[in-house]
Structure formats: C-alpha cells, structure tokens
Amino acid sequence: MGIDQCRLIDLPKILDARGNLTFIESGRHLPFEIKRVYYLYDVPGGSERGGHAHKSLHQFLIAMSGSFDVILDAGRGRQRFHLNRSYYGLYIPPMVWRELDNFSSGSVALALASEFYDEDEYIRDHEAYLEAVRAGR
Ligand code: T46
C-alpha cells in the first residue's frame, strides 16, 4: 500500500432540479468497508490538520462544503490535492503521510474510515514514519 494507490474517486451523482444527490455504499463505491465517519468543521483560516499516517486505516476524504487541500507524502515526494466538490473524494490507503491545509471559510471535511478510532494505529512522528517506510513496514 502507498501513494500509488491514492486516487480521486467520483461518486454517483443524481442530477435533479430540486437539488442534486450523491450516495456512497460501503464496500461498493470505495475499496473498503466503512466503520467510522467523522468531520472537520468550524476550521479557522490558516489552520493545518493531519500531520500523521495510519498503519492500517483506509480513508476517504470529501469536501462536503467549501474546499481544502490534502498533501500526501509516502516518503518519495509530496502531492497536493485540492478538494472542492461533494461528489468526489480522495482515497488514502494505509501508510501515507497526510496534511490538510488551505481550508476555505465554512468548509466541512468529511472522512470515511475503515476502522474505529485507535490512537495506537497512528504514526504522528514524521521521522518515525520515514523510518517505517524505509523498513518496508
Ligand atoms: C485524519 C484527518 C483527516 C477521536 O477521539 N475520535 C476520532 O474518530 C478522531 C478522528 C479523533 N479523535 C480525537 C483524537 C484527538 O484527541 O480527536 C482529537 C483530534 O484528532 P486529530 O489531532 O487526529 O485530528 P486531525 O484533524 O489532525 O486528524 C483527523 C483524523 O484523526 C485523521 O484520521 O486523517 O483528520
């Protein structure tokens, strides 16, 4: 698993004069089963979130409102994604370092995750992360 598996995924979009509708079915539209949903909101301008990798967690990030950037780093260079629509998102497999910044005013970042919250599953130290990547863990 690594940055090569990271990708933008388009979600189904039902266009309707009453307003559009998008849906996500666990294990069908995403390459994992969804166990947890969380979201970032009321993010002050200039904030940075993330700054960690997950050992085993698969994740999908969507800009439900407004926009933000996700910077991915798997130890071989960084890649920046700008998320600004609610009908697509960014899939991030395990062992990819992520940072989030450039939040627009009123933005809401939705995260769908493959596991329940477990702090032991995070790598929050960048040097430790690079060491784990080098060791092929
Ligand atoms: C990620 C980015 C996009 C919980 O108690 N339960 C949860 O499900 C989550 C996600 C967090 N927390 C606690 C742990 C910390 O005490 O909430 C606090 C803030 O979490 P953190 O500093 O990890 O927040 P972010 O925005 O830096 O990272 C979060 C997710 O943790 C992470 O999986 O990829 O959003």
d(CA 121, CA 78): 22
Say how far apart CA 47 and CA 61 lie, in whole Å. Answer: 17
Q: Which pTM was predicted?
A: 0.96
- Closest atom of ligand 1 to 113 CA is 33
Q: What is the pLDDT of residue 74?
A: 80
Take atom 29 of ligand 1 and give the residue whose Cα is closest.
50
- In terms of Cα–Cα distance, which of 127, 9, 124, 134 is closest to 55? 124
Average pLDDT over residues 94-114: 97
Confidence of residue 1 (pLDDT cuts 50, 70, 90): low
- The 8-class DSSP code of residue 100 comes to E
Pick from 3-12, 21-30, 70-79: least confident: 70-79
* Residue of 29, 52, 58, 82 marked active site: 52
| CA dist., res. 87 & res. 21, Å (int) | 9
Question: Distance, CA 14 to ligand 1 centroid (Å)?
Answer: 31
Three-class DSSP category at 53: strand
